[in-house]
Each structure stands twice: as structure tokens, then as C-alpha cells.
Amino acid sequence: MFSEWKFAAKDIAEKPDLFTSGHRACAGCASATVLRLIMKATMGPTIVTTATGCMEVASTIYPYTSWKIPWIHTAFENAAANASGIEAALKILKKKGRIPQEQVDVIAFAGDGGTYDIGIQALSGAVERGHDFLYVLYDNEAYMNTGIQRSGGTPLGASTTTSPAGTVMPGKLEPKKPITEIIVAHNIPYAATASPYYWRDLIAKARKGIEVNGPAFLHVFAPCPRGWRSDISKSIELSCLAVETCVFPLWEAINGEYQLSAPSKAIALKPERKKPVREYLQMQGRFRHLFTPKFEKVIDEIQRITDERWQRLLKKCSMALN
Amino acid sequence: MAVAKQKMLALNGDEAVAYAVKQSDVDVVAAYPITPQTIIVERFSEYVADGEVDTEFVCVESEHSALTACLTAAATGARAFTATASAGLALMHEILYVTSGCRAPVVMAIVNRALSAPLNIHCDHSDSMVERDCSWIQIYVENSQEAYDSIIQAFKIAENQELLLPVMVGLDGFTLSHTLENVQTLPDDLVKKFVGTRKFPLVTSHEGKNVPFKLDPKKPMTIGPIDLYDYYFEHKRQQEEAMQIAPKIIQQVHKEYAKISGRRYGNGLIEPYHLEDAEMAIVCVGSTSGTVKTVVNELRSKGTKVGLLRLRTFRPLPVKEITKALENVKAVAVMDRSLSFGGHGGAVFHEIRHVLYDASKHPYVVNYIYGLGGRDTSPNLIQKIYRDLQRILETQQIEKPVQFIGLRE
């Protein structure tokens, strides 16, 4: 299905950035790193569209832009519809000979708010219609651009400004929506999860998503120090811990066939490597209230849900242990 | 150029629109069905199914995505069309502003229909009148022939390199959309030649290069960035400056089209009917003007000096033309098929009275709210309006500046 793409760290380092520095992302923002890495996976002519959100406002402010490729933003809930229109135009203009006869790749970036919540309709429609584009969800687990409000991607127990931890409420009451599984259920040819800590895996998956014929969905974990109340130097470490605790396992679904990616597969094969969620949670101020006698049980619940989802994933990957 | 030999087809308003789109070498159609616009989408789907068009048809999951896809297709260099009505237009509201703000020359047919609640599928102008401030050119047509002609003209207007503003063409739901009419159609190749292929003005990119205004991998450009208090205001003024030159371009395209088709609708902006010596006039938009013309003919045959001003282009508002057409009339009745709740009359009334404030003479101007939710507007009602105007002239008094007509008391 995919051409073998071999690349060395040197190739990636030497490839000129298409998402350039000078943008206004916060210190320690993993989303900016994610965008930069994904743009390293492009090869030919590419058009990018971005939903309203952190990466849109941080990467452009008139008259400046971080984008070295053609880029368009229209609104919040329609990144996938943006891509649909671009792809449809490219297809017909090429057919009519009005643009060069070459493959132009289309990538849409949207945050968790623009994907799990307000953008899911446009995304579902575009995937169902089978447009040829890569949709990248950079998931910082809340509406960070508007000031840390909960989204469908916010995990259980996280304190946000609209799910604040109070004297009776332990932060968000609901677990994260399984967005990537929902997209896989559309019979999408390629879907995957990725983490910037495993940058090589991330770039390779972005490349696969670009190359696949039809829609592709890439769900990338993106710690946000401002919203997570975490140390700005720990974003990549958190991206590692999320995988090691199985809070955010790495996997692909190629034509609906689930398979674990190497870092998660290693844990599946040696379950003793799986770290407790506590290690991941304690590095983040958004979970601080859980480390009090009143809400401690929520940590057990997060562990239970994480384990349950991990087991379910193992079954999907035909790696269930019993 | 001589007027082309044309083919007469029996088409309803929606079919006339679909036929015009078919002939206009449209690259991308993205649409979502809604009554009474559905026939446009259905006919166009048939053209696609039968290979009669070279168009990418994107059957989207909502009107919001329909307009979004047209916007980005247009930004990529395509000629793009969509159509909607009522709730569909309301759902597009956000993207209407984004489309004009991105200067994407999308063309859209609005098959005018009432807004909920209560749910109603029939004609009034509430759906598009509420969108009058969104920097789209608005043309309202009287019949299916004009719907056909106006859609073809709309592509040429929208894509004018000086203008680059989206255009909506309003046709009355059911009255026009579902009623068969003889429509004169131009030969395919002539329409294709008339609309031409899209050209792109050169603009300065962020790299300081002159590049064509579109998403081109060879000449990268950022479209739709965040734009705060330091530039946003100037960009909005640019849109208004484009609106100000639009009347010239609308008239020019209308004139060129008249040369090949032999059809004119006033000067493209307004259509005065027996206004030269009229003492009393009705102002309206859309298909009701057909009924008004019939009544004008009747009353004229009895020696009453009545006339009609049909506003074909509502945005931009043809201020000079309206003033000139109405300042010598003594009493004017503005008919509005929408209501600005709590706002002292309808949208057309607001504009007409406002324009006449600066005129050299000030006619009496009153407002009639009519036909909401598809309520029939018979010649009797139009006659009553002229009788009311007559009474105003006799008594030199306005009893009710704004009133409803054609409903239970």
C-alpha cells in the first residue's frame, strides 16, 4: 500500500522548514513541534488548511505568516470542508489542464475542539465522501486558544475553566471521546495515533497519510503547558509518558485493520513496562486536585478506564493476552 | 454582435438556474438539498450522471460545508457555485462573511423561502434580506428567464478582477422555482465564451512578490490569517470600496449580455416601469413585480398615473438610480416580503426612505409587509395599495407608515 520511505535524522534536519520559526506559539507548545515535524513529511506541492485555533492564530497574524506553502483558514468547524473544496478544485482544474499535471497534497490541521466537537460533522462528511487529504488532529485536550475550556477530548478528572475542580467536582466528569476509533468506523483507508516524542514514527505516519489514496486521519498527542499546568520543558517527556502509561497508545488502522506501533507494541509484549497513570498525572497541575484524599479515587478510575481501553485496543490489534 | 439564435425551453426557475450553471463552465458545485432549492441540485446531479458537465460535484453534508467547499475551491482557482434557501442560508451565515472577506467569487442561487418557526417552506425574503450586510452582491429576479440570465451574468460579475465579491441571485420559492415558464436559452458555446475562464489579479504576497491571488504551490500565499485592530479595518474598507465599484461592473456585464441575448432588465440595477410621469409608485423586489406591472397597465388604461420601481440589485444599493427614479413621484409604497421585527418596517423600506431623505423632493413613503410564508399577493392587494397612495395624496396625510397587507385582521 505504501512506498518504502527511508529517511535519516539528517534528512529531516536538513530539509528546509515549511512551517517556520517566528510564530507566536507559547513556550513548550507541543502542537508547534507537531506541525513542524509533519511538514517535514511532505515531498511535493502541498496546500495546507487550518481550523481556527491555537495553530491558526499563532502561525499567522497579518501581514506575517509561518507558512512557506499555500495556506488557507476560513473558520473553526470546517477544516475538513476546506480540504474538500481544495481537493475538488485541484482534481477538476487538473482534468481541464488549467494547473500542472502533478499531485498536490492537501493537509488539514485542527485542534481537539475543531475535531471532537464542532468540526466532527464536516470531518465525518469529508471522510465519507472519500476526499484525498490528510487530516491532522493536534490534540492538546481542551480549547486552549480561548483559555482552557473542556472539549470532548479532555480526559476524565482534568480541571479546565469550564470543568473546574471545586469543592464537590473533581474536574471533568467524562472520559475522552474515542475519536480515532470513530473515524476508523467510517472505513477510512488510513488512521493512526502519534506522539511527538516518537518523532520518527510520527513523520512516517504523516507520510503514509499523505500517500494513501483517499482520506487519512492522524491523531497527534500535543501537551500544552499553559493548559495542563505543566513545566514548559516537560512537553516531550509527557508525550513519552502518555504512551508508556497507555493513556495514549500508538497504533494504526490500515483499511480498518488495527495494529500497534512499535512503542506500544513493546508494552503489549512486556506488560511490566506499562507505567501507572499516576506518574503521568502527577506532572500536571490540571490533575493536582486528584492527589488529595477527597478525589484520590478518581485516579483509580482513570487507571481503570486506561486499562480497559488498552485491553480493548489489544483485542482490536489481535494482541489480547488472554 | 448580433443577438444569438436561441432555444426556447420549458423550465421552472430551479431548472433555469441549473441549466445556466451547466452552460457556465463551472468547476466545482458543492451543495446540500433544501426545499424549494432541491430541483437545482437534482438537475445538476443528472447532468453529472449523464456526463453533460465537466464539473466536480461535491454532495456535502450541510450548507455550512457547501459554502465552505465553494470558498476554498474558488480560492484554489476554481469557478464555484452553490444554491440554498431559508434555513440553509441561515446555516451559512458565518461563511457568507468569510467568503466575501476572503474575496472568493462564489455564485449562489437563493430560492427565497421563509425562516422557521413556525416551519414554512414557501416564499418570502426573510432568508436573504437578513444577509444584506455580508458583503455579497444581491440580485433579485422577477421570473425564470431572468434567473437564467442572471446566473450567467453573476459569474462574470463576481470574477471581475477589480471586484472579486460573491454574488447571490434570489428567486422566489415555488412562485418561480416550481413554475414552468418558457425560457430562451443561449447556445452552450456562446455562454462559455461569455463567462470565459477565471483570471487572477496579481497581489503582493508575504514574500513581497507579485503573485496571482489563489492557492498556488508554485507561488505560496497565506489566505485568511488572523488580522486584528492594526489591519482588519482597512481590509473591511477595501470590501466596501469593491462594493462601490460593483454598480459599474453589474451594468457593464448586463449590457454585454444584452448584446448577445437581446434581454435587458432596466439598467441591471433598477427596472423602472412607467415611472416617467408617475405620481404614485410601488417599489418591490422579486416576482411580485410581475403582478404589479399588470395592475399598473390596468390603472394606466384608466388614466391613473402609476408606476413601479423594481429593485433588481439590492446590494450594492443603487442610491443614485433610486433617487433619480423616485424623486419626482409624489407618493411611494414600498413592499417588503420580510420584516425587521421591532424595526419600523422592512429592509427595502428602510433603504428607500433613507435614500429619499437626501433627494431634492421628498415623496410620501409608506411600507407594506406582504406575502410572508408564501401568502398569495393578488392584483386586488396591489390595487388597494395604489388606492391608499391616492388617499394620501388627497388628504396629504399618512395614517399608517408601516402596515401589513393580505392577512386576517
What is the ipTM metric for this complex?
A: 0.97
- For B154-183, what is the mean pLDDT? 98
Mean pLDDT of chain B: 97
Which residue in B58, B72, B80 is closest to A72 by CB distance? B72
Give the integer Cα–Cα distance in Å for B287 and B63. Answer: 25
β-partners of residue A149 are A143
Query: What is the full DSSP assignment across B184-238?
Result: EE--HHHHHHHH------EEE-TTS-EEESS-BTTB--EES----TTTHHHHHHH
Binary contact (A88, B73; C-beta < 8 A): yes
**Going by C-beta distance under 8 Å and a sequence separation of 6 or more, which residues neighbour residue A33?**
A196, A222, A235, A236
Which residue in A70, A84, A89 is closest to B217 by CB distance? A70
- Each residue of B8-42: b (16+ CB within 10 Å) or e? ebebbbbbbbbbbbbbbbbbbbbbbbbbbbbbbbe
What are A233's three cell numbers?
520543558
Binary contact (A85, B68; C-beta < 8 A): yes
Reply yes or no on whether the pLDDT at B289 is more than 50: yes
Q: Each residue of A249-262: pLDDT tens digit?
A: 999 999 999 999 99
Domain with CATH 3.40.50.970 in chain B: 7-200+228-261
Binary contact (A75, B59; C-beta < 8 A): no
Give the integer Cα–Cα distance in Å for B335 and B400. Answer: 14
Give the integer Cα–Cα distance in Å for A126 and B34. Answer: 20
Interface check B256 vs A, CB under 8 A: no
- pLDDT at residue A6 in the model: 80
Supply φ then ψ for residue B399, to 5 degrees.
-80, -50
Tell the burial category of B298 from Cβ atoms under 10 Å away from its Cβ (0-12, 13-18, 19+): middle
CA distances from A249 to A182, A272, A313 (A): 16, 15, 9
Question: For chain B, what percent of residues have pLDDT higher than 90?
Answer: 98
- CA B40 to chain A, closest CA, distance in angstroms equals 20
The number of distinct structural domains making up chain A is 1
Domain with CATH 3.40.50.920 in chain B: 270-405
Residues of B in Cβ contact (< 8 Å) with A83: 72
Q: Each residue of B293-349: pLDDT tens digit?
A: 999 999 999 999 999 999 999 999 999 999 999 999 999 999 999 999 999 999 999
- CA B177 to chain A, closest CA, distance in angstroms equals 27
Reply yes or no on whether the pLDDT at B1 is more than 80: no
Binary contact (B69, A81; C-beta < 8 A): yes
Residues of B in Cβ contact (< 8 Å) with A98: 77, 197
Domain B270-405 has CATH 3.30.70.2860: no
Give the integer Cα–Cα distance in Å for A110 and A74. Answer: 12
Domain carrying residue A168: 9-316
Supply φ then ψ for residue B237, to 5 degrees.
-65, -40
Which residues of chain A carry a pLDDT beneath 50?
322
Give the integer Cα–Cα distance in Å for B295 and B279. Answer: 15
Binary contact (B64, A77; C-beta < 8 A): yes
- pLDDT at residue B409 in the model: 86
Task: Using alpha carbons, select from B65, B82, B98, B68 the residue that is nearest to residue B27.
Answer: B82
Which residue in A63, A70, A90 is closest to B220 by CB distance? A70
Residue A322 belongs to a domain: no
- CA B337 to chain A, closest CA, distance in angstroms equals 32
Residue of B nearest to A96 (CA): B54
Residue A151 belongs to a domain: yes
- CA B26 to chain A, closest CA, distance in angstroms equals 10
Give the integer Cα–Cα distance in Å for B83 and B92. Answer: 11
Q: Each residue of B46-57: pLDDT tens digit?
A: 999 999 999 999
- pLDDT at residue A5 in the model: 76
Residue A236 belongs to a domain: yes
Task: Using alpha carbons, select from B209, B144, B148, B145 the residue that is nearest to residue B179.
Answer: B144
Strands (E), chain A: 46-50, 60-61, 64-65, 71-72, 105-111, 134-139, 190-194, 216-221, 251-254, 257-260
B58: three-class secondary structure by DSSP: strand
Give the integer Cα–Cα distance in Å for B79 and B156. Answer: 10
- pLDDT at residue A2 in the model: 66
Residue A250 belongs to a domain: yes
Task: Using alpha carbons, select from A37, A32, A136 the residue that is nearest to residue A82.
Answer: A136
Strands B331-336, B313-315: pairing kind: unpaired
Residue A123 belongs to a domain: yes
Which residue in A85, A98, A129 is closest to B70 by CB distance? A85
Q: Which amino acid is at A306?
A: T
Task: Using alpha carbons, select from B392, B402, B326 the residue that is nearest to residue B358.
Answer: B326
Give the integer Cα–Cα distance in Å for B386 and B282. Answer: 8
Q: How far is CA B45 from the centre of its chain?
A: 24
CA distances from B268 to B139, B154, B291, B310 (A): 9, 11, 20, 10
Reply yes or no on whether the pLDDT at B205 is more than 80: yes
User: Could you tell me the CATH number of the domain that includes residue A50?
Assistant: 3.40.50.970
Torsion angle defined by CA atoms of residues A66, A68, A71 and A77, in that order, rounded to the nearest 10 degrees: -40
| Plot region of B132 (φ>0 → left; ψ -120 to 50 → alpha; else → beta) | alpha
Q: Which of A62, A64, A82, A105 would best serve as a mutation to test chain B binding (most B beta carbons within 10 A)?
A: A62
Give the integer Cα–Cα distance in Å for B391 and B405. Answer: 16
Which residue in A60, A78, A90 is closest to B68 by CB distance? A78
Torsion angle defined by CA atoms of residues B260, B261, B263 and B266, in that order, rounded to the nearest 10 degrees: -30
Please check whether residue B136 is in contact with residue B100, taking contact to mean a CB–CB distance below 8 angstroms. Answer: yes
What are B251's three cell numbers?
451594468
- CA A68 to chain B, closest CA, distance in angstroms equals 6
Residue of A nearest to B197 (CA): A98
Residue A2 belongs to a domain: no
Query: What is the full DSSP assignment across B255-284?
Result: HHHHHHH----TTSSEEEES-TT-SEEEEE
Q: Which of B28, B48, B71, B76 would best serve as a mutation to test chain A binding (most A beta carbons within 10 A)?
A: B76
- For domain B7-200+228-261, give the CATH superfamily: Thiamin diphosphate (ThDP)-binding fold, Pyr/PP domains (3.40.50.970)
